[in-house]
Structure 1
Amino acid sequence: MKSNPYAAIQSKYESFPKVSRRIADFILENPERVCSISIQQMARELDIAESSIIRFCKQIDCSGFSEMKLLLAKYAPQSIHTIFEDLSETDTVTSITKNVFGRNIDTLQRALDLLDFEKVEQATALMSQAKRIVALGVGASGSIASDFYIRLMRVGIQAEAFTDSHLMQIAASQAGPETVFFGITHTGKTREIVTALELARSRGAKTISMTGYPDTPVKRVSDICMELYSPLQLFVSPRVAQVTLLDSLYVSLSIRQKNQVVENIQKMNDALADFRLS
């Protein structure tokens, strides 16, 4: 199935060269018009070569201009409603809530459209073979890393999480070949995460990362780098897609050792029973 071109544009926008960004801006601002004009007209309006537009089409995984127009038309109604619609002071709490839910649902769909499932399979296989999984994150990504660690611990998978920059460097310095370090950085440029993964890798550990942009520094120090669609709009958080992907990894790992996981969950419930009010 072909990817949603709007999602592809927004996911890859930061890595586009100058001409490609001009084309991307034109498409995002005039989606209906692009669907009704020829490549020659678009080239004239942007004062660029037709070959630049063809190259852009391939950058967003379309075979050519015609296919891009078809996909823009296919995905335009939902994209325009949930991505380009602004909120105002006159909106009610109900309408704002519906809008935010719509944006998050759209983010999940776009992330799913662009997800490289082969990398998800590889990441799952790598973690299932590890004796220990170490999740890393700072700031908002730190809370996501901690949540992933808690989920893994609940089912008996040996895991840790570090959100302090010094502690993650110490952990990385003591890494070994039976450990997987999992770095979470939305920008892919967080220095603490990149240096920790690089150090852990030099000690023989396997490294996995999750980021919102392609071709970032964290990719260069990762055995597997999962790139998620990243919304550019204010108030549209990438967190919903990040947490959902981690949930998918957590469930995939659990299913691979189902009997042991069921036993561990029962042990957890027994241990926590006295702490729950009746």
Structure 2
Amino acid sequence: MSALLKIRSRRDQMSAIERRIADFVLDNAQLLRDYSSQQLANALGISQSSVVKFCQKLGFKGYPDLKYSIGEAVARADNGDEPVNDADADVDSDDAMACDLWRRKTEAEEETRSINPPDTVTAVAAAIAAAADGGKVFLIGLGADDIRARAFALRLSLLGILAVHNFDPAHMAASVSAANAGDVLLVFSEHGKPPPLCYIARYFRERQGTVISITRHTSNPLRAYANLALLVSAHDDRAHIEPLLYHSALQHLLDRVFVLVCEAGREEQLQANLERLQPMLEP
């Protein structure tokens, strides 16, 4: 496990000071080589010993060891993991781009899998499956997040689960008024900050429902209202690449949940719905 991934995966278990160090390191990984442990401590307004203890708690001998490991991780991200050989010289730019994109997606999926313990993914699937027996599953997302919420709502519907999807916070707030204990609310929000979604999550908790947030692996208000949290780790300095990594890692995470729900005795319902819908889709 790379140093950066180790920091991301353990951040939620860190103290307040350790989280400050972790956030600074993650945000400034490429510049860390220019910082000594004392300079890092000064930048954060903490003691040098706090920096050293942070490194040792992650399993490194000290700050130089951590800095070297992060430097290697940054170099691999910049240059790719595979050595260049003569055959690579014949690969055109399109193939090189495709390989790099696939590698970055794979890394994002691996990081996302590492920060979502199997018990959490199983608990999310179990909550959805339990709500399906006479209950409802509400889903909401704003903007691009609505695309993921809508697609997942459709897949749940194919399993015979009553999925209440809405992209309008006002309409969803009205729908949530009919929620009962045991119902589930899935809130899709990459950054977990929109106040309307936080309000809906809080209201749903008051109705004794189970709130499941799907956000980035960051501290955000929405996670504070969630009973269960699914987290996505996808990072790239290129603004046009990072959303692709996020979507890819999120999709794989949702696929894991869907498979668990489907295998909880809903395969026959799925097959029956697919056979009934097929004539509508044929030309």
Q: TM-score, normalised by structure 1?
A: 0.77
Counterpart mapping for 1:195-274 below 5 A: 195-233=199-237, 234=239, 235-237=241-243, 238-257=246-265, 261-274=266-279
Deviates more, 1:92-101 or 1:215-224: 92-101
> Is residue 137 of structure 2 the alignment partner of residue 133 of structure 1?
yes
Once the two structures are TM-superposed, the CA of residue 28 in structure 1 deviates from its matched residue by 3.3
> Is residue 161 of structure 2 the alignment partner of residue 157 of structure 1?
yes
Identity %: 18
Q: In structure 2, do the counterparts of structure 1 residues 25 and 158 end up closer, same or farther at CA, with 3 Å as the change threshold? A: closer
Q: Partner letter of residue 112 of structure 1?
A: R
Provide the aligned C-alpha RMSD in A.
3.3
State the alpha-carbon separation in 1 of the partners of residues 144 and 214 from structure 2: 13
| Residue 58 of structure 2: aligned partner | 62
Q: TM-score, normalised by structure 2?
A: 0.76
Gaps of 5+ in 2: 82-91
Q: Partner letter of residue 188 of structure 2?
A: I
| Residue 28 of structure 1: aligned partner | 30
CA contact (8 A) 2:234 2:242 kept: no
CA contact (8 A) 1:10 1:232 kept: no
| Residue 42 of structure 1: aligned partner | 36
State the alpha-carbon separation in 1 of the partners of residues 24 and 224 from structure 2: 28
Once the two structures are TM-superposed, the CA of residue 276 in structure 1 deviates from its matched residue by 4.2
Q: In structure 2, do the counterparts of structure 1 residues 185 and 56 end up closer, same or farther at CA, with 3 Å as the change threshold? A: farther
| Residue 116 of structure 1: aligned partner | 117
Paired positions, count: 255
Deviates more, 1:126-135 or 1:263-272: 263-272
| Residue 169 of structure 1: aligned partner | 173
Deviates more, 1:266-275 or 1:21-30: 21-30
CA contact (8 A) 1:210 1:225 kept: yes
Deviation string 1:186-212 (CA, Å, 9 cap, x unpaired) is 101122221111111111211111110
CA contact (8 A) 2:113 2:253 kept: no
Deviation string 1:159-207 (CA, Å, 9 cap, x unpaired) is 2211112111111222110310111111011222211111111112111
State the alpha-carbon separation in 2 of the partners of residues 174 and 232 from structure 1: 41
Q: Partner letter of residue 42 of structure 1?
A: S
Q: In structure 2, do the counterparts of structure 1 residues 70 and 45 end up closer, same or farther at CA, with 3 Å as the change threshold? A: closer
State the alpha-carbon separation in 2 of the partners of residues 74 and 138 from structure 1: 37
